[in-house]
Structure 1
Amino acid sequence: MMACNGSGGCQSGCYKDEEETRNEPTESAETDSRSSGSICIKCKLNDAVSGYGGIDDGRFCADCFRSNLFGKFRLAVTSNAMISPTDKVLVAFSGGPSSRVALQFVHDMQERAQKNFDASRDRSLPVFGVGVVFIDESVVMPIPSHEMEEAVEVISSVVSSLAPPRKDLHLVPIEMVYSSDSSDGKERMMKLVNSVSDPTGREDLLLHLRMLALQKVASEYGYNRIVLGSCISRIAAHVISATVKGQGYSLSADIQYVDARWEIPIVLPLRDCFVQEINMLCRLNGLKALKLSSGPSSSINGLVSSFVALLQEENPSRESTIVRTAGKLIPFQFNRIPEIIDGNVPLATRRRQKRYNLKSNESVSSESFCPLCNSPLDKSEIVDWSNLDDRRSSDIFYTTCCSSCQFQILPQDSKSVEQFYMDLPQSVVARAKQPNNSNLNVLREQIQDCLLSDGEDET
């Protein structure tokens, strides 16, 4: 789960792309990017494009480059059953290069599906729906009002300019994670974020709040998938930063193609694409990207992002190596799209999902999650609730959070923790009050002798 501000301090599962605007794409002519005398290795007809610094720099012509990048996207979608004809997909759009390309590619897939639907006689395959969401974080970020207004205009223009089928645009403030009837949402949001003194913790908290906002929008408007623009460059930075912050156990959950630990599954169709390639595509296709001011940052996330960028400049395969190495970690059971039982879903889609989904022996089961960041907890971090009955709710919340949240985000004194707990959105508080699934396993072990096995008949 699952990218946040101009510092590049983004983690798994978030949709912000500002850190990916290094080597910001411009609308230069396509011919400016052609290499002298180099021929495309695929079509062997046209001049290859170069100058973007990617691992395939100077190998493909413009057309083959576009086809190759879209092929990575489409393979990720089809191989992991990310989008089926009956789905309603919500694209998280920040306006940065990655989310811009993710929106364009999802639109291209939808447009092709619509043409196939119109051309077919029986029209048996429906066309999946697409919506776009932009989370306004100006209440907690130093973004000038005029800059935010311009960003909203640009985003509205981008979405409206896309060819049919029509895509709904949702412009929502991040404080909407509080109840819709809560008039003090802005104030509580500001108090909550400002109570975190550590820059890294503040960025991480904002990431978690953003994910809550995305989930709420998706749930309210009937979407069953959320598409994030996280690419291999951002994931590589997250691998290092998560390791530094002591999130090694939950790391494998954040770097997969699918993350269904949330009510609405998160998918990362650009996981195999480099930011340099994404920037180049924006340049070639004239896709306008924007960057919102966010101020300086000295967080771990920002430092790691800069470090990985330097590594990539020295060797274009560094980011890929980092992600491939982390990919050897065993994923969790929720790193797959839940099995489809809807009879309206085409048989081919269900077969593809069954073929590519993780098997039980290829994944780790998750018994409990941090109530704040929703990261899976190691057994050593799971707390026995029977020992917490006589404690305050805020103290219980602190105890049941993961060690990373306790260190980076939560206040250290009891009084501040209580105020922090009171300022949390109700969805987080409700999650904190749910007993760990591990307690159910303990109960099952206690009554195991009274349970019937699958082969026994009830007498």
Structure 2
Amino acid sequence: MCQVGEDYGDAAPEGPPPPRPGHELKCVKCKDGLPVVVIRAGDAFCRDCFRAFYIHKFRAVLGKNRLIFPGEKVLLAWSGGPSSSSMVWQVLEGLSRDSAKRLRFVPGVVYVDEGAACGQSWKDRARTLADVKSILQTTGFPWHIVTLEEVFALPPSVLRCSAQEPVGTIGTYKVAVDSFLQQQHTLVAEGVGGSPNSTPGEEQLSQPCTQDPQDLAGPPPADQTEALSRLFDSVKTLTAKEELLQTLRTHLILHVARAHGYSKVMTGDSCTRLAIKLMTGLALGRGAFLAWDTGFSDERHGSVVVVRPMREHTLKEVAFYNRLFAVPSVFTPAIDTKAPEKASIHRLMEGFLLRLQAQFPSTVSTVYRTSEKLVKAPRDGCASGPRCLLCMCLLDVDTADSATAFGAQTQDCSQMQSPTPPAEAPTVPCCSTEVGRAQNCFRGTRPCGREDSRACVIEQLCYSCRVNMKDVPSLDPLPPYILAEAQLRSQRRSPEIQEYLVESSDDDVHTGGSGAWVPPEQEGKDGQAACDCINKNIFN
């Protein structure tokens, strides 16, 4: 009969049980080596097999999509974090002679210093930049270091979608590869190249490291740093700050790519980060643009295409690889460092998914696989419509007479504008030299009040950007290129109604009246002049 407190057996041994003879854990691939990492339950890899597995993932993503052609210039967006550092090292190894199938594109690296937005002093930023330069010099790639303050000197043309070449098919990719190889053999035969198997990226590695002469040589102007701090201090919520920071960073990288002739930009977004971005985008109202935000390629910018070759790697795999193979990285505090979990939608969604991943290991992969099924297909009639002023996506939104919540919001924005002035009102532009340009001035017969200028900017944004701009009380601290481009877009006429309007006289054309046609080159000059005027109003 059982007795309370009676001991019926020996105590359980502490620690894991000793392995039975003949049943030691082995690598799942080579079946011979001792495993050093366990990616998933039952997936244990030795060091060499894990390295081959990791590299194959990176190469397979590039080979499956075939968007990067031989000899093409590719800009690697490096933030100093684990994923982007691993991406740079994958490209570096892919260009070496020891690689089985070498990469054939010409890489460059860009680093954006965001210390001013995070409240760092210049002393701390200079210490970080010293570590960044030491790492970039070891790569041998051309590198560009820019500060976030440079967004206050960007031209309005950054927000314009330039002409995009048609995406090549498999046949055109093979033709490009054959043409590239034939060109290499021709150069070798003429004695220009080094060897028939050398690539432009490999020849670049043999040359000394180069740096853009316009790169950072000292602290940025104090007025730009103050303007950037004032901009982020004016934003109410951390969610809007993170979205604004990502938008400005993208515009700056896009400008660097266009200025130096890069046609592709590589980012280090991992599988885990893209899953979090997908759920965050749904919460922020970016459901129509998730295919561009999380897909392998993002063609919204026209001539520069953003690609994400690290989208098959999880953060766990990236951490293991960087640890085992000593991939250097730089720690830089972000704008949400030490923020509580409920401080922003980004942090809340990240904590939610990572907690689910700890209990259900297939959570991240399931969300990520869902993003692969999204199709980049805008609604009928919206393929060539206007684009958002900030995220540069097509304005795939409902009209003002729609019964949806967004339609009501659009109608409210249109009602915020002042009524049309009477016909006898003078049509002399308020931005003429006699009156002087103002920061909130939109050329035309409409009044130049702050409410009117805000409504003109808001109506050029998508739904998600409009929601974020609600947390920005005033649009005055925005960079001048955004306000200047909004002013230029408000002046343009719709091509459908242009033929029904009465042509303006020559005097109106020369004076730049609201109804005058302005040549494209003059429009660019007007945009730069408006941008310079806004700069003068901000920094004076």
TM-score, scaled to structure 2: 0.60
Q: Is the 8 A contact 2:82 2:329 kept in 1?
A: yes
1:287 CA drift (Å): 1.0
Secondary structure of 1:306's partner? Answer: helix
Give the letter for the 1:102 counterpart: M
Task: Report sequence identity in percent.
Answer: 27
Q: Where does residue 300 of structure 2 map in the other structure?
A: 261
Residue by residue over 1:260-285, the C-alpha shift from the partner in whole angstroms, topping out at 9 and shown as x without a partner, is 11142111001111010001000110
Judging changes above 3 Å, is the alpha-carbon distance between structure 1 residues 64 and 203 closer, same or farther for their aligned structure 2 residues? same
What is the CA–CA distance in structure 2 between the aligned matches of 1:284 and 1:438, rounded to whole Å?
59
More deviation in 273-282 or 310-319?
310-319
Q: Deviations over 1:366-415 (max 9, x none)?
A: 633220222332231687999977364432111221222222234576xx
Partners of 1:283 and 1:267 lie apart in 2 by 25
| 1:86 maps to 2:126 | no
Partner of 1:177: 151
Change (3 A) 1:284 1:323: same
Q: Distance in 2 between the 1:437 and 1:311 partners? A: 49
In structure 2, the partner of 1:212 is 251
- Tell me, yes or no, if the aligned pair for 1:55 and 1:317 is still in contact at 8 Å: no
SS at match of 1:132: strand
Aligned to 1:42: 29
Q: Distance in 2 between the 1:432 and 1:67 partners?
A: 53
Task: Determine helix, strand or coil for the equivalent of 1:234.
Answer: helix
Answer yes or no: is 1:378 the counterpart of 2:378.
no
Equivalent residue number for residue 51 of structure 2: 66
Cα pair 2:110 2:145 within 8 Å, conserved: yes
Aligned to 1:451: none
Contact residue 79 and residue 111 of structure 2 kept, 8 A = yes
Contact 1:114 1:127 in 2 (8 A): no
CA distances 1:133-161 after superposition (whole Å, capped 9, x unpaired): 11111111133545433332332222222
Find 2:120's aligned residue among 135, 143, 146.
143
Q: Give, in whole Å, the separation in 1 of the partners of 2:61 and 2:72.
A: 16
1:116 positional shift? 7.9
Deviation of residue 293 (structure 1)?
2.4
Distance in 2 separating the partners of 1:199 and 1:50: 36
* Structure-2 change in CA distance of 1:62 and 1:402 (3 Å): same
Letter in 2 for 1:178: F
Greater CA deviation, 180-189 or 145-154? 180-189
- Whether the 8 Å contact between 1:96 and 1:289 is mirrored in structure 2 is yes
Residues 375/432 of structure 1: CA separation in 2 closer, same or farther (3 Å cut): farther
Going from structure 1 to structure 2, the CA distance change for 1:194 and 1:50 (only over 3 Å counts) comes to same
1:57 and 1:141, CA in 2 relative to 1: closer, same or farther beyond 3 A?
farther
Give distance in 1, aligned partners of 2:126 and 2:360. Answer: 39
Aligned length: 365
Contact 2:151 2:479 in 1 (8 A): no
Among 123, 129, 132, which residue is 2:109 paired with?
Answer: 132
Give the letter for the 1:169 counterpart: W
Partner residue in 1 for 2:481: 426
Partner of 2:227: 188
Q: Residue deviations 1:103-143, cap 9 Å, x none?
A: 011122223599989xxxxxxxx942211111111111133
**Unaligned 5+ runs, structure 2:** 1-22, 156-219, 401-409, 418-443, 501-540
Pick the aligned partner of 2:318 from 278, 288, 292. 278
The CA distance in 2 between the partners of 1:160 and 1:408, in whole Å, is 39
2:338 matched to 1:296?
yes
**Correspondence for 1:232:** 271
Give, as a single letter, the amino acid of the residue that structure 1 aligns with 2:83: S
For residues 127 and 472 of structure 2, the distance between their equivalents in structure 1, rounded to whole angstroms, comes to 40
Change (3 A) 1:37 1:151: farther
What is the Cα deviation at residue 42 of structure 1?
1.6
Asked whether 1:77 is paired with 2:23, we answer: no
Instruction: Flag the structure with more relative contact order, 1 or 2, with Cα contacts below 8 A and sequence separation at least 6.
Output: 1
1:323 aligns with 2:389: no
CA RMSD, aligned part only? Answer: 3.6
**2:112 alignment partner, SS class:** strand
Residue 24 of structure 1 corresponds to which residue in structure 2? none
> TM-score by structure 1 length?
0.70
- 1:171 Cα offset (Å): 1.2
| Structure 1 residues 115 and 310: CA distance shift in structure 2, 3 A | closer
Contact 2:457 2:486 in 1 (8 A): no
Distance of aligned partners of 1:411 and 1:317 in 2 relative to their CA distance in 1, 3 Å threshold = closer
Which of the residues 469, 475, 495 maps onto 1:409? 469
Q: Is the 8 A contact 2:269 2:311 kept in 1?
A: yes
Q: Structure 1 stretch 310-319 or stretch 384-393: which is displaced more?
A: 384-393
1:250 aligns with 2:250: no
- In structure 2, the partner of 1:31 is none
User: Are positions 1:369 and 2:414 aligned together?
Assistant: no
| Residue pair 2:35, 2:45 contacting (<8 A) in 1 also | yes
- The answer (yes or no) to whether the contact 2:254–2:304 under 8 Å persists in 1 is yes
Between the aligned partners of 1:282 and 1:79, the Cα distance in structure 2 is 25
* SS of 1:178 mapped into structure 2: helix
Runs of 5+ consecutive residues of structure 1 not aligned to the other structure: 1-35, 118-125, 334-359, 447-459
Q: String of CA shifts for 1:300-321, please: whole Å, max 9, x gaps.
A: 1011111111111112221110
- Displacement of 1:192 after TM fit? 2.2
